[in-house]
Chain A
Amino acid sequence: DGGITQSPKYLFRKEGQNVTLSCEQNLNHDAMYWYRQDPGQGLRLIYYSQIVNDFQKGDIAEGYSVSREKKESFPLTVTSAQKNPTAFYLCASSIGRSTGNTIYFGEGSWLTVV
Protein backbone atom coordinates (compact mmCIF):
# COMPACT_ATOMS: atom_id res chain seq x y z
CA ASP A 1 0.00 0.00 0.00
CA GLY A 2 1.19 3.53 -0.74
CA GLY A 3 1.72 5.80 2.18
CA ILE A 4 3.96 7.44 4.69
CA THR A 5 5.49 5.35 7.46
CA GLN A 6 6.81 6.91 10.64
CA SER A 7 8.72 5.05 13.31
CA PRO A 8 8.81 4.60 16.16
CA LYS A 9 5.28 5.54 17.19
CA TYR A 10 6.39 6.16 20.78
CA LEU A 11 9.86 7.20 21.87
CA PHE A 12 11.35 8.19 25.18
CA ARG A 13 14.45 10.36 25.35
CA LYS A 14 16.75 10.96 28.25
CA GLU A 15 18.14 14.39 28.97
CA GLY A 16 21.13 15.16 26.74
CA GLN A 17 20.42 12.37 24.30
CA ASN A 18 19.94 12.66 20.55
CA VAL A 19 17.14 10.66 18.97
CA THR A 20 16.16 10.09 15.35
CA LEU A 21 12.64 9.75 14.00
CA SER A 22 12.26 7.82 10.78
CA CYS A 23 9.99 8.81 7.89
CA GLU A 24 9.65 6.79 4.69
CA GLN A 25 7.22 7.35 1.80
CA ASN A 26 6.46 5.25 -1.25
CA LEU A 27 4.20 7.79 -2.95
CA ASN A 28 6.98 9.04 -5.25
CA HIS A 29 6.52 12.50 -3.77
CA ASP A 30 9.26 15.08 -4.26
CA ALA A 31 8.55 17.17 -1.17
CA MET A 32 8.70 16.07 2.44
CA TYR A 33 8.04 17.93 5.69
CA TRP A 34 8.39 17.66 9.44
CA TYR A 35 5.90 19.34 11.76
CA ARG A 36 5.71 19.51 15.51
CA GLN A 37 2.43 19.64 17.41
CA ASP A 38 2.15 20.46 21.10
CA PRO A 39 -1.01 19.53 23.04
CA GLY A 40 -3.92 21.72 22.04
CA GLN A 41 -1.79 23.58 19.51
CA GLY A 42 -1.50 23.73 15.75
CA LEU A 43 1.26 22.36 13.55
CA ARG A 44 4.58 24.16 13.38
CA LEU A 45 6.99 23.54 10.52
CA ILE A 46 10.43 22.29 11.54
CA TYR A 47 12.12 21.49 8.21
CA TYR A 48 11.04 20.81 4.67
CA SER A 49 12.67 19.44 1.55
CA GLN A 50 11.54 20.04 -2.02
CA ILE A 51 14.16 17.79 -3.63
CA VAL A 52 16.79 15.22 -2.76
CA ASN A 53 19.95 16.61 -1.11
CA ASP A 54 18.29 19.92 -0.36
CA PHE A 55 16.23 21.12 2.59
CA GLN A 56 15.18 24.38 4.25
CA LYS A 57 14.53 25.46 7.80
CA GLY A 58 10.98 26.00 8.88
CA ASP A 59 9.80 28.20 11.72
CA ILE A 60 11.26 26.17 14.61
CA ALA A 61 14.39 24.44 13.26
CA GLU A 62 16.65 25.13 16.26
CA GLY A 63 17.65 21.91 18.01
CA TYR A 64 16.69 19.72 15.06
CA SER A 65 18.53 18.34 12.05
CA VAL A 66 17.46 16.47 8.91
CA SER A 67 18.91 14.77 5.87
CA ARG A 68 17.45 13.96 2.45
CA GLU A 69 19.81 11.48 0.84
CA LYS A 70 17.02 9.51 -0.82
CA LYS A 71 13.71 10.63 -2.28
CA GLU A 72 11.83 8.19 -0.08
CA SER A 73 13.41 9.08 3.25
CA PHE A 74 13.52 12.20 5.43
CA PRO A 75 14.72 11.37 8.96
CA LEU A 76 14.54 13.94 11.74
CA THR A 77 17.10 14.08 14.56
CA VAL A 78 16.08 15.76 17.77
CA THR A 79 19.32 16.90 19.34
CA SER A 80 20.19 17.64 22.94
CA ALA A 81 20.06 21.32 22.00
CA GLN A 82 16.28 21.08 21.77
CA LYS A 83 15.34 21.91 25.36
CA ASN A 84 11.66 21.06 25.22
CA PRO A 85 11.27 18.19 22.76
CA THR A 86 8.19 16.50 24.23
CA ALA A 87 5.59 16.70 21.45
CA PHE A 88 3.78 14.89 18.66
CA TYR A 89 5.90 14.82 15.48
CA LEU A 90 4.30 14.54 12.08
CA CYS A 91 6.02 13.72 8.83
CA ALA A 92 4.29 14.62 5.59
CA SER A 93 4.86 14.57 1.86
CA SER A 94 3.46 16.15 -1.29
CA ILE A 95 4.07 15.99 -5.01
CA GLY A 96 6.07 19.22 -4.89
CA ARG A 97 5.95 22.65 -6.41
CA SER A 98 2.59 23.07 -8.08
CA THR A 99 -0.88 24.34 -7.47
CA GLY A 100 -2.71 21.55 -5.79
CA ASN A 101 0.27 20.57 -3.69
CA THR A 102 -1.78 18.45 -1.33
CA ILE A 103 0.09 17.32 1.74
CA TYR A 104 -0.43 13.86 3.26
CA PHE A 105 0.60 12.83 6.74
CA GLY A 106 2.08 9.80 8.41
CA GLU A 107 0.55 8.53 11.64
CA GLY A 108 2.92 10.52 13.81
CA SER A 109 5.51 9.85 16.50
CA TRP A 110 5.12 10.72 20.15
CA LEU A 111 8.36 11.83 21.80
CA THR A 112 8.63 12.15 25.57
CA VAL A 113 11.60 13.30 27.62
CA VAL A 114 12.15 11.24 30.75
Chain B
Amino acid sequence: QKEVEQNSGPLSVPEGAIASLNCTYSDRGSQSFFWYRQYSGKSPELIMFIYSNGDKEDGRFTAQLNKASQYVSLLIRDSQPSDSATYLCAVTMNRDDKIIFGKGTRLHILP
Protein backbone atom coordinates (compact mmCIF):
# COMPACT_ATOMS: atom_id res chain seq x y z
CA GLN B 1 0.00 0.00 0.00
CA LYS B 2 1.30 3.42 -0.93
CA GLU B 3 1.84 5.78 1.97
CA VAL B 4 -0.48 8.51 0.67
CA GLU B 5 -2.96 7.82 -2.10
CA GLN B 6 -5.12 10.11 -4.17
CA ASN B 7 -7.22 9.63 -7.28
CA SER B 8 -5.27 11.33 -10.07
CA GLY B 9 -8.38 12.57 -11.87
CA PRO B 10 -9.08 14.70 -13.72
CA LEU B 11 -12.12 15.55 -11.65
CA SER B 12 -14.51 17.80 -13.57
CA VAL B 13 -16.99 19.88 -11.58
CA PRO B 14 -19.43 22.52 -12.85
CA GLU B 15 -18.86 26.07 -11.69
CA GLY B 16 -20.76 26.76 -8.48
CA ALA B 17 -20.95 23.10 -7.44
CA ILE B 18 -19.09 21.34 -4.61
CA ALA B 19 -15.79 19.65 -5.44
CA SER B 20 -14.84 16.71 -3.23
CA LEU B 21 -11.24 15.51 -3.09
CA ASN B 22 -10.16 12.44 -1.15
CA CYS B 23 -6.94 11.06 0.26
CA THR B 24 -6.04 7.90 2.19
CA TYR B 25 -2.87 7.20 4.17
CA SER B 26 -1.15 4.11 5.51
CA ASP B 27 0.55 5.24 8.75
CA ARG B 28 -2.14 4.87 11.44
CA GLY B 29 -0.11 7.01 13.84
CA SER B 30 0.04 10.05 11.57
CA GLN B 31 -1.00 13.26 13.30
CA SER B 32 -0.77 16.10 10.79
CA PHE B 33 -2.55 16.41 7.46
CA PHE B 34 -2.31 19.12 4.82
CA TRP B 35 -3.92 20.15 1.56
CA TYR B 36 -1.91 22.10 -1.02
CA ARG B 37 -2.97 23.62 -4.32
CA GLN B 38 -0.53 23.65 -7.22
CA TYR B 39 -1.02 25.53 -10.45
CA SER B 40 0.85 24.27 -13.50
CA GLY B 41 4.52 25.23 -13.38
CA LYS B 42 4.27 26.72 -9.89
CA SER B 43 5.18 25.53 -6.42
CA PRO B 44 2.49 24.17 -4.06
CA GLU B 45 0.71 26.59 -1.77
CA LEU B 46 -0.91 25.62 1.51
CA ILE B 47 -4.70 25.68 1.61
CA MET B 48 -5.47 24.03 4.93
CA PHE B 49 -4.10 21.80 7.65
CA ILE B 50 -6.02 19.58 10.05
CA TYR B 51 -4.93 17.60 13.09
CA SER B 52 -8.13 16.51 14.85
CA ASN B 53 -10.94 14.22 13.76
CA GLY B 54 -13.90 16.03 12.28
CA ASP B 55 -14.34 19.05 10.06
CA LYS B 56 -12.38 22.26 9.76
CA GLU B 57 -13.77 25.11 7.71
CA ASP B 58 -11.97 28.08 6.15
CA GLY B 59 -14.01 30.14 3.75
CA ARG B 60 -15.12 27.97 0.84
CA PHE B 61 -12.83 25.13 1.94
CA THR B 62 -13.63 22.37 4.43
CA ALA B 63 -11.15 19.69 5.45
CA GLN B 64 -12.47 16.46 6.94
CA LEU B 65 -10.38 13.97 8.89
CA ASN B 66 -11.28 10.43 9.95
CA LYS B 67 -8.29 8.81 11.65
CA ALA B 68 -10.10 5.51 12.28
CA SER B 69 -10.66 5.07 8.56
CA GLN B 70 -7.36 6.77 7.66
CA TYR B 71 -8.72 9.24 5.20
CA VAL B 72 -8.78 12.98 4.81
CA SER B 73 -10.87 14.95 2.35
CA LEU B 74 -11.19 18.49 1.03
CA LEU B 75 -14.48 20.05 0.00
CA ILE B 76 -14.56 23.19 -2.11
CA ARG B 77 -17.92 24.95 -2.11
CA ASP B 78 -19.10 27.31 -4.85
CA SER B 79 -16.30 26.12 -7.15
CA GLN B 80 -14.72 28.79 -9.33
CA PRO B 81 -12.67 28.45 -12.54
CA SER B 82 -9.69 29.74 -10.55
CA ASP B 83 -9.93 26.58 -8.40
CA SER B 84 -8.79 24.54 -11.41
CA ALA B 85 -5.44 23.13 -10.29
CA THR B 86 -3.82 20.02 -8.87
CA TYR B 87 -4.57 19.39 -5.20
CA LEU B 88 -1.93 17.61 -3.16
CA CYS B 89 -2.59 15.78 0.08
CA ALA B 90 0.35 15.60 2.51
CA VAL B 91 0.75 13.57 5.68
CA THR B 92 3.39 13.65 8.40
CA MET B 93 4.52 10.10 9.05
CA ASN B 94 4.50 9.28 12.75
CA ARG B 95 7.50 6.96 12.62
CA ASP B 96 10.05 9.47 11.29
CA ASP B 97 8.37 12.87 10.85
CA LYS B 98 8.80 12.74 7.07
CA ILE B 99 6.16 14.67 5.17
CA ILE B 100 4.89 12.50 2.34
CA PHE B 101 2.79 13.78 -0.54
CA GLY B 102 0.21 12.02 -2.63
CA LYS B 103 0.45 12.27 -6.40
CA GLY B 104 -2.31 14.85 -6.49
CA THR B 105 -5.76 15.14 -8.00
CA ARG B 106 -6.29 17.35 -11.03
CA LEU B 107 -9.43 19.42 -10.62
CA HIS B 108 -11.11 21.10 -13.57
CA ILE B 109 -13.94 23.55 -12.93
CA LEU B 110 -16.25 23.78 -15.94
CA PRO B 111 -17.49 27.35 -16.66
* Interface residue ranges, A against B (CB under 8 Å): 31, 33, 35, 41-45, 48, 50, 56, 58, 90, 94, 97, 99-108
Interface residues of B in 1-55 (CB under 8 A from A): 6, 31-32, 34, 42-46, 49, 51
Q: Across the interface, do A105 and B34 meet the contact criterion of CB distance under 8 Å?
A: no
Q: Across the interface, do A101 and B32 meet the contact criterion of CB distance under 8 Å?
A: yes
Q: Across the interface, do B97 and A105 meet the contact criterion of CB distance under 8 Å?
A: no
Taken together as a complex, chains A and B put the C-alpha atoms of A103 and B96 apart, in Å, by 15
Taken together as a complex, chains A and B put the C-alpha atoms of A7 and B92 apart, in Å, by 27
B99 within 8 A of A: yes
Most chain-B CB neighbours within 10 Å: which of A33, A43, A99?
A: A43
Q: Across the interface, do B101 and A35 meet the contact criterion of CB distance under 8 Å?
A: yes
Taken together as a complex, chains A and B put the C-alpha atoms of A35 and B101 apart, in Å, by 10
B67 within 8 A of A: no
CB distance from A75 to the nearest CB of B (A): 18
Q: With A42-B104, A43-B88, A48-B98 in contact, is A99–B46 under 8 Å at CB?
A: no
Q: Which residues of A contact B102 (CB under 8 A)?
A: 42
- How many residues on the B side are at the interface (Cβ–Cβ under 8 A)? 23
Taken together as a complex, chains A and B put the C-alpha atoms of A94 and B97 apart, in Å, by 11
Q: Which residues of A contact B32 (CB under 8 A)?
A: 99-102
Q: Across the interface, do B103 and A99 meet the contact criterion of CB distance under 8 Å?
A: no
Q: Across the interface, do A105 and B44 meet the contact criterion of CB distance under 8 Å?
A: yes
14 additional contacts, CB 8 Å, given A43-B101, A105-B44? Answer: A33-B99, A35-B101, A42-B88, A42-B104, A43-B44, A56-B96, A58-B98, A97-B97, A100-B32, A101-B97, A102-B49, A103-B46, A107-B42, A107-B43
Taken together as a complex, chains A and B put the C-alpha atoms of A31 and B42 apart, in Å, by 22
CB distance from A61 to the nearest CB of B (A): 12
Taken together as a complex, chains A and B put the C-alpha atoms of A104 and B49 apart, in Å, by 12
